[in-house]
């Protein structure tokens, strides 16, 4: 072949590298440029084309190309060529969820891999890595997350030997998906996203992986409630994927951005992105009903009934013309929403029946099931306001119990926590303050566990406010206050609106607490260690005795029931256990940062073998710990609990 033709293919490679995808494909689609290439050159440039098609989600064309490569490799007995063709085919099948076909092709790839010989070791190892990638992706798609994770960890062992390659970016993408969707470890998913971006900086053809790294960050931030950060990363994704001309990826990203704006309360901007998303779905109407569903929900939130009716009519036409199980459930759900929004009582009754019918459907979208339960609770609560029938309240609680189960199974932990807050407020309607506090304690533990920082701040603030309002609840109980008064003090309406409208969590105005004293007690309430932070805090025996009496009350009456804090005059006592010890932090002010500090302290002493063993020894000897007994303990306490002054 002439140098001019090879130069054109090299130009295509360079265009791909700078993300001029359409221009690169135009050259790679010119079959005359491939005439006269040797097999290695032909395989290389066809594989590049295959990557572009896969990145564009042009799966049909990618599989055709892979089949062509496989035939060429078999014709010339070039097993590397054949394997690379199979890789493109299998990746395409996995990306379109055709796992049975993919599994058979993986077996073919395994057989071909065994035949590769007389090639540099790096070529063989790279194909082994690619095969493990396919196995990992397939197993993740099939729900075998543990197996997928093992394959990913195995191929990471080759990263040092092979250097940074797109295969390791893909491995981190799979690991991020495992962390997000199977383990709800969004902190670890974010780390994977950072690794993808780090790898992308050092490889060719990196724009797609920059988009993937930002997408991982966007999803992770969204899941933990940091919507502004999520939006920032989605905008970076959108900028890149528009260059790939992938209607599917552009449409879904626009849809996500639109929904984010809706959660942030910017309904006009949300509608702009959702309607732009719809235009892309119309070109590739794979799941067009999903964005129509988003627009109807948005229209109802902003009170635009005409807009909601317009898109509901379109959804109804789709349901009548091309019915399938997904369109059917989305149609029925939105029909229920439209009826619930009606001012007619009979329409609201029909909405209730439809929501209940949806919940009886076996295979439905988890979000629709969750939202149906929330709307049912809202309908029942309106009824409860009107007739004050305890049977209705019981029905609400039954729905909440089922909602908790679904939220946990679908790992929707933000919803899970919001339900606990709702339960707390419902408990207050019957003056069950202890139950309300227990629900808030459980909610905060879950929010902290899954990195839902903003939600944890909200819950902690709710708990602080409830402690301050306990006298008010006693007065309401004694005066047999009306239901309306109880609902107002519980701020129940605000919580229902938050859940119905999926509003972003507003960060409460929380200042850092003023440390007063830290105590470590043994089981039973015996004092093992104490550290005073406030100079003007009296540490006389009678004061300390009063504190210890209060702590013993917490242990016996409060802590044992799953609660973690109490009020002691002007002070708040926060307790957390690390068997066989109880840490008690006494402070003034808000409890959110105090909660983080006491948890950090307990984690730190358990991770410090010397401190932990020393505390155990003093405990076994029934002796109190003085500061000079364990010098490193005081420095740890001061570092965690006392703000450094600049």
The token pair that represents 559 in the structure block: 């802590």
Whether residues 421 and 285 fall in one domain: no
Integer Cα distance of 255 and 263 in angstroms: 12
Q: What is the pLDDT of residues 115-148, one digit of tens each?
A: 998 889 999 999 999 999 999 999 999 999 999 9
Q: Are residues 83 and 207 in the same domain?
A: yes
Whether 365 and 433 map to the same domain: the answer is yes
| Tens-digit pLDDT profile for residues 429-442 | 999 999 999 999 99
Which pLDDT does position 282 carry in this prediction? 86
3-class DSSP state of 515: strand
In order, the DSSP letters of 439-504 are HHHHHHHHHHHTT-HHHHHHHHHHHHHHHHTHHHHHHHHHTT--HHHHHHHHTHHHHHHHHHHTPP
- With pLDDT > 90 as the criterion, what percentage of the chain qualifies? 73
514 phi/psi in degrees, rounded to 5:
-100, 115
- If asked whether residues 69 and 193 sit together in one domain, one would say yes
What average pLDDT does range 317-323 have in this prediction? 88
Give the percent of the chain with pLDDT over 70. Answer: 94
Position 297 scores a pLDDT of 94
In this prediction, residue 340 has a pLDDT band, given cuts at 50, 70 and 90, of: very high
Dig out the tokens for 578 from the structure.
């690390």
On whether residue 335 sits in a domain, the answer given is no
Cβ count near 429 (within 10 Å):
16
Of 478, 469, 421, the residue nearest 444 (C-alpha):
421
Same domain, 81 and 223: yes
- Judged by DSSP in three states, 129 sits in helix
Within this chain, do residues 219 and 268 fall inside the same structural domain, yes or no? Answer: no
Q: Please, which residues have CB within 8 angstroms of residue 522's CB and are 6 or more apart in sequence?
A: 528, 580, 581, 582, 619
Residue 368, domain CATH: 1.25.40
Question: Is 582 a domain residue?
Answer: yes
Last residue of a domain, one of 224, 244, 264: 244
CA pair distance 552, 311, nearest whole angstrom: 61
Does 481 share its domain with 538?
Answer: no
Domain with 447, as residue range(s), is: 344-501
If asked whether residues 364 and 434 sit together in one domain, one would say: yes
**Residue 356 covered by a domain:** yes
Model pLDDT, residue 126: 95
Euclidean distance between CA atoms 219 and 173, whole angstroms: 12
Residue 610 falls inside a structural domain? yes
Per-residue pLDDT tens for 14-48? 999 999 999 999 999 998 888 888 899 999 999 99
Q: What is the DSSP letter of 556?
A: I
pLDDT of residue 534: 79
Burial 302-329 (b: 16+ CB within 10 A, else e): beeeebbeebbebbeebbeeeeeeebeb
In a domain, 551, yes or no: yes
pLDDT for position 542:
47
Query: Cβ(274)–Cβ(291) under 8 Å?
Result: yes
Relative orientation angle of helices 366-387 and 483-490, to the nearest 10 degrees: 140
Q: Which helix (H) or strand (E) holds 587?
A: strand 581-588
467 shares a domain with 612? no
| CATH number, position 76 | 1.25.40.10
CB distance 286 to 277 below 8 Å: no
The string over 211-229, giving b where at least 16 C-beta atoms fall within 10 Å of a residue's C-beta and e elsewhere, is bbbbbbbbbbbbbbbbbeb
The answer to whether position 294 is within a domain reads yes
- For the segment 279-309, what is each residue's pLDDT rounded down to a tens digit? 998 887 677 899 999 999 999 999 999 999 9
Q: How far apart are CA 91 and CA 599, in angstroms?
A: 44
How many helical (H) and strand (E) elements, i.e. helices and strands, does the chain have?
31, 5
- Give yes or no for residue 149 having a pLDDT over 70: yes
Average of per-residue pLDDT values in the chain: 91
Residue 388 confidence class, pLDDT cut points 50, 70, 90: confident
Highest mean pLDDT range out of 234-243, 472-481, 548-557, 583-592?
Answer: 234-243
Quick check: 186 and 224 in contact, CB under 8 A? yes
- In this predicted structure, the answer to whether residue 646 has a pLDDT above a threshold of 60 is no
Domain boundary among 292, 322, 352: 322
Quick one: 545 and 453 in the same domain?
no
Residue 196 lies inside a defined structural domain of this protein:
yes
Q: Is 334 within a domain?
A: no
**What total of structural domains would you count in the chain?**
4
Residue that terminates a domain, selected from 244, 273, 293? 244
Whether residue 122 sits in one domain with residue 226:
yes
Q: How far is CA 533 from CA 320, 525, 575, 622, 642, in A?
A: 70, 21, 17, 25, 8
218 and 297 belong to one structural domain? no
Instruction: State whether residue 124 is helix, strand or coil.
Output: helix
Task: Give the residue-averaged pLDDT of 72-78.
Answer: 95
Q: Is residue 84 pLDDT above 80, yes or no?
A: yes
Q: What CATH number does the domain containing 587 carry?
A: 3.30.450.60
The kind and range of the H/E element at 278 are: helix 267-283
pLDDT tens sequence across 602-624: 999 999 999 999 999 999 998 99
């Amino acid at each position: 072949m002439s140098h001019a033709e090879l130069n054109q293919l090299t130009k295509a490679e360079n265009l791909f590298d700078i993300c001029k995808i359409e221009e690169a494909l135009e050259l790679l689609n010119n079959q005359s440029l491939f005439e006269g290439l040797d097999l290695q050159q032909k395989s290389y440039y066809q594989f590049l084309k295959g990557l572009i098609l896969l990145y564009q989600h042009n799966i049909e064309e990618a599989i055709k190309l892979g089949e062509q490569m496989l035939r060429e490799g078999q014709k010339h007995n070039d097993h590397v060529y054949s394997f690379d063709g199979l890789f493109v085919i299998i990746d395409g099948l996995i990306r379109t969820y055709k796992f049975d076909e993919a599994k058979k092709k993986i077996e073919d790839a395994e057989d071909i891999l065994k035949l590769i010989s007389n090639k540099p070791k790096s070529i063989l190892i790279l194909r082994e890595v690619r095969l493990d990638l396919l196995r990992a992706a397939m197993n993740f798609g099939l729900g075998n997350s543990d197996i997928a994770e093992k394959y990913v960890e195995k191929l990471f062992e080759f990263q040092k030997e092979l250097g940074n390659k797109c295969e390791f970016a893909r491995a981190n993408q799979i690991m991020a998906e495992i962390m997000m969707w199977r383990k709800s470890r969004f902190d670890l998913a974010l780390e994977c996203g950072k690794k993808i971006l780090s790898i992308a900086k050092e490889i060719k053809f990196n724009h797609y992986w920059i988009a993937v790294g930002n997408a991982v960050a966007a999803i992770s931030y969204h899941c933990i409630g940091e919507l502004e950060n999520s939006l920032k990363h989605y905008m970076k994704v959108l900028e890149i994927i528009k260059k790939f001309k992938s209607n599917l990826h552009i449409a879904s990203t626009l849809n996500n951005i639109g929904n984010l704006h809706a959660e942030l309360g910017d309904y006009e901007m949300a509608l702009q992105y959702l309607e732009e998303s719809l235009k892309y779905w119309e070109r590739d109407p794979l799941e067009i009903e999903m964005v129509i569903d988003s627009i109807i929900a948005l229209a109802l939130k902003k009170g635009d009934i005409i807009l909601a009716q317009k898109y509901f009519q379109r959804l109804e036409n789709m349901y009548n013309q091309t019915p399938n199980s997904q369109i059917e459930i989305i149609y029925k759900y939105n029909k229920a929403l439209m009826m619930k929004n009606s001012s007619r009582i009979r329409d609201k009754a029909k909405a209730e029946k439809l929501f209940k019918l949806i919940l009886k459907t076996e295979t439905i979208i988890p979000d629709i099931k969750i939202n149906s339960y929330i709307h049912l609770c809202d309908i029942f609560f309106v009824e409860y306001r009107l007739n004050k029938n305890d049977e209705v309240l019981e029905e609400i609680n039954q729905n909440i119990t089922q909602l908790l189960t679904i939220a946990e199974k679908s790992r929707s932990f933000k919803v899970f926590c919001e339900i606990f807050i709702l339960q707390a407020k419902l408990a207050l309607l019957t003056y069950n303050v202890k139950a309300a506090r227990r629900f808030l304690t459980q909610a905060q533990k879950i929010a902290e566990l899954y990195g839902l920082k903003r939600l944890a701040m909200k819950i902690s603030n709710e708990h602080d406010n409830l402690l301050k309002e306990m006298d008010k609840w006693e007065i309401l109980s004694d005066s047999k206050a009306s239901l309306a008064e109880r609902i107002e003090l519980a701020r129940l309406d605000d919580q229902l609106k938050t859940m119905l409208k999926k509003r972003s969590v507003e960060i409460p105005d929380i200042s850092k607490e003023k440390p007063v004293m830290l105590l470590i007690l043994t089981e039973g309430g015996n004092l093992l260690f104490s550290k005073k932070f406030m100079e003007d805090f009296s540490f006389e025996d009678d004061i300390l005795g009063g504190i210890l009496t209060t702590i013993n009350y917490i242990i016996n009456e409060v802590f044992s029931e799953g609660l973690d804090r109490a009020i002691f005059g002007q002070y708040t006592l926060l307790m957390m256990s690390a068997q066989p010890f109880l840490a008690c932090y006494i402070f003034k002010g808000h409890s959110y940062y105090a909660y983080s500090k006491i948890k950090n302290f307990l984690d730190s002493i358990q991770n410090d073998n010397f401190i932990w063993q020393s505390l155990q020894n003093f405990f076994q000897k029934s002796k109190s710990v003085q500061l000079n007994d364990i010098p490193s303990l005081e420095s740890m306490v001061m570092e965690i609990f006392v703000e450094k002054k600049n």
